[in-house]
Amino acid sequence: MHTEPKRTIAVVDDDTAVRLAVAGLVSSMGWDVRLFASGFECLRSNIISDLACLITDVRMPNVTGVELHDRIVSQGFVVPTIFITAFPTADLTAKLNKDGVIAIFEKPVDANVLADCIDANLGKP
């Protein structure tokens, strides 16, 4: 049985400008993009099993990016995850390379660096 590769990247950020900028970059790379203003919205969407990657802000109201990632893992999914944060911490850095966390970038994120990370970890859509 042949299964189609996962082509969707979820961008989760409560800052509309950041969400749209990251989504524009990801879309320009040929990926399908789903946008969410909160971790709760993303969890409620039921698309987790279809994701090629999750790009999420760390600090968001209600469900943080870290909580979002941890809930996805607790559901049995390992989705390659890129955290974006204005407030990097040692605890956050300790998550790197665990449970699918592939990168942690400090805001503002360099678009070329983010694109290179996506290419290196996911290949082309």
pLDDT for 53-109, tens place per residue?
999 999 999 999 999 999 999 999 999 999 999 988 888 999 888 999 999 999 999
Question: Cα–Cα distance between 34 and 103 in angstroms, integer?
Answer: 19
Please identify, in words, the CATH class of the domain defined by 8-122. alpha beta
* pTM across the whole model: 0.94
Of the candidates 27, 15, 13, 33, the one whose C-alpha atom is nearest the C-alpha of residue 111 is 27
pLDDT in tens, 74-89: 999 999 999 999 988 8
Tell me, rounded to whole angstroms, the distance of Cα 6 from its chain centroid.
14
Which residue, chain included where needed, has tokens 């995850």?
81
% the chain with pLDDT above 70: 98
Mean pLDDT of the chain: 94
Q: Is the pLDDT of residue 2 over 90?
A: no
Say yes or no to pLDDT of 46 above 80. yes
